DNA sequence: TATTGTTATACTCTATAACTATA
DNA sequence: TATAGTTATAGAGTATAACAATA
């Protein structure tokens, strides 16, 4: 068997193993986040946090939902005091969204819980295993971006 | 600074980095799966595939939904010809679920797409990076299980 | 009586189509 | 006319409560 075939087979096996672990870890972390908001709401709030001063249309495009769906999500988050709608400086059709202090705090708490859960699991690994994951982390980061 | 403090800080940083990459990879893989079924339907079908001859109650418990919700999901999957409901051998109250050939094929196709996407990303890494991920894979597997 | 599964009903999230205000 | 956002309405997925069949 030639080298290319061997590499390809190995890579498919690696992909299969990583797919299962990544999916399961993601599911478990989601379960640890605390359930004050739905995944939809957390997603929208997180996008506003990352790109401040988004319009509803931009947010809908970013979250890959239609504008009317985002209208409802925004209405709920605004009613809960987690984000604010303010007039666009130059275009009176548009609206600008920003996080409130409460929204910011809630997002940070959500992240904190997930990371605390993961950190606890990491603490149960040997130093060698932790070292391997430290090497792997930037690679996974690149993999997730590209 | 003592060693313990350094390790702890390092671990929190590692947890933060892994949380972001894992969440993003999971989201991207999900988007690659092909959208013939919803996440709910894929989840239920996958559980039946992993533990054949499940009852609706067991499946609902496994997927962490209430029995009436699973009744609807099962009805849809049965109507689509992806699983079958047959009488329980000894308890006439119960029902036994099994995958059809079409359900099995659909699940395998879904997995194949996600893994093909991931394998393609892996192919863009250097051999050294791939080697690190091969070492990391069993650790992530354990992390996701515990 | 207790358990398994289903039906009835309501709430959330999603969509498409139609509408309002503004450019 | 075109664009940004909202309102109207409908379909899928979830839940709780009530029910039927069986143990």
Backbone angles phi, psi at A64, to 5 degrees: 60, 45
Select from B13, B64, B114, B115 the residue whose CB has the most chain A CBs within 10 Å, as the one to mutate to test that interface: B115
State how far the Cα of B103 lies from the Cα of B125, in Å rounded to an integer: 34
Query: What percentage of chain A exceeds 70 in pLDDT?
Result: 94
The per-residue DSSP string of chain B comes to --HHHHHHHHHHHHHHHHHHHHHHHHHHHHHHS-SSS-HHHHHHHHHHHHSSSB-HHHHHHHTT--HHHHHHHHHHHHHTTSEEEEE-SS-TT-EEEEE-HHHHHHHHHHHHHHHHHHHHHHHTS-HHHHHHHHHHHHHHHHHHH-
Read off the DSSP letter of residue A80: T
Select from B27, B124, B143 the residue whose CB has the most chain A CBs within 10 Å, as the one to mutate to test that interface: B143
List chain B residues with CB under 8 Å of A115.
12, 15-16, 19
* CB of A64 closer than 8 Å to CB of A72: no
Q: Is A85 near strand D, with its CB below 7 A from some atom of it?
A: yes
Please name the member of A124, A136, A142 whose beta carbon is closest to the beta carbon of B136: A136
State how far the Cα of A24 lies from the Cα of A22, in Å rounded to an integer: 5
Task: Say which residue, B140 or A38, is predicted with more confidence.
Answer: B140
> Tens digit of pLDDT for each residue in B124-133?
999 999 999 9
Mention every residue, 6+ apart, whose C-beta is less than 8 A from residue A138: B17
Beta bridge partners of A83: A99
State how far the Cα of A33 lies from the Cα of A14, in Å rounded to an integer: 28
In this complex, the residue with its CA at the shortest distance from the C1' of nucleotide C22 is A93
| Number of Cα atoms under 13 Å in the Cβ half of residue A126 | 5
Confidence category of residue B31, pLDDT binned at 50, 70, 90 = confident
Interatomic CA–C1' length for residue A97 and nucleotide C23, angstroms: 21
Task: Say which residue, A48 or B32, is predicted with more confidence.
Answer: A48
Q: How far is B45 from chain A (nearest CA, A)?
A: 16
Select from B10, B19, B120, B141 the residue whose CB has the most chain A CBs within 10 Å, as the one to mutate to test that interface: B19
State how far the Cα of A44 lies from the Cα of A77, in Å rounded to an integer: 9
* CB of B44 closer than 8 Å to CB of B77: yes
- The pLDDT value recorded for residue A93 is 97
Chain center to CA of B70: 17
Backbone angles phi, psi at A99, to 5 degrees: -75, 145
Structural fold of domain A28-145: Arc Repressor Mutant, subunit A (1.10.10)
State how far the Cα of B101 lies from the Cα of B78, in Å rounded to an integer: 12
- The dihedral formed by the CA atoms of A111, B21, A116 and A53, expressed in degrees to the nearest 10: -10
In this complex, the residue with its CA at the shortest distance from the C1' of nucleotide D3 is A93
* Helix, strand, or coil (residue A3): helix
Mean pLDDT, rounded, of chain B: 90
Query: Under CATH, which number does the domain B34-145 receive?
Result: 1.10.10.10
Read off the DSSP letter of residue A89: S
Extract the tokens encoding A28. Answer: 């478990």
Interatomic CA–C1' length for residue A12 and nucleotide C16, angstroms: 40
Residue A127 has pLDDT above 60, yes or no: yes
Q: List residues with CB under 7 Å of strand C.
A: A 38, 40-41, 64-66, 68-69, 72-73, 76, 90-93; B 55-58, 67-68, 70-72, 74-75, 85, 88, 91, 93-95
Cβ of B123 and A18 within 8 Å?
A: no
> Tens digit of pLDDT for each residue in A57-114?
999 999 999 999 999 999 999 999 999 999 999 999 999 999 999 999 999 999 999 9
State how far the Cα of A71 lies from the Cα of B9, in Å rounded to an integer: 40
Q: How far is A89 from chain B (nearest CA, A)?
A: 33
List chain B residues with CB under 8 Å of A29.
19, 22-23
Give, to the nearest 10 degrees, the angle between helix A3-32 and helix B3-32: 100
């Amino acid at each position: 068997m030639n080298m290319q075939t061997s590499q390809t087979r190995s890579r498919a096996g690696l992909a299969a193993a990583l797919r299962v672990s990544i999916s399961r870890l993601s599911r478990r972390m989601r379960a640890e986040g605390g359930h004050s908001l739905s995944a939809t709401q957390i997603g929208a709030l997180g996008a506003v946090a990352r790109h401040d001063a988004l319009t509803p249309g931009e947010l809908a495009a970013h979250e890959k939902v239609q504008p009317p769906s985002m209208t409802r999500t925004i209405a709920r988050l605004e009613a809960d005091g987690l984000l604010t709608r303010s007039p666009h400086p130059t275009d009176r059709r548009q609206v600008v969204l920003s996080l409130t202090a409460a929204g910011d705090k809630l997002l940070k708490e959500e992240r904190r819980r997930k990371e605390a859960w993961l950190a606890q699991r990491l603490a149960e690994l040997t130093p060698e295993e932790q070292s391997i994951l430290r090497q792997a982390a930037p690679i996974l980061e690149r993999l997730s971006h590209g």
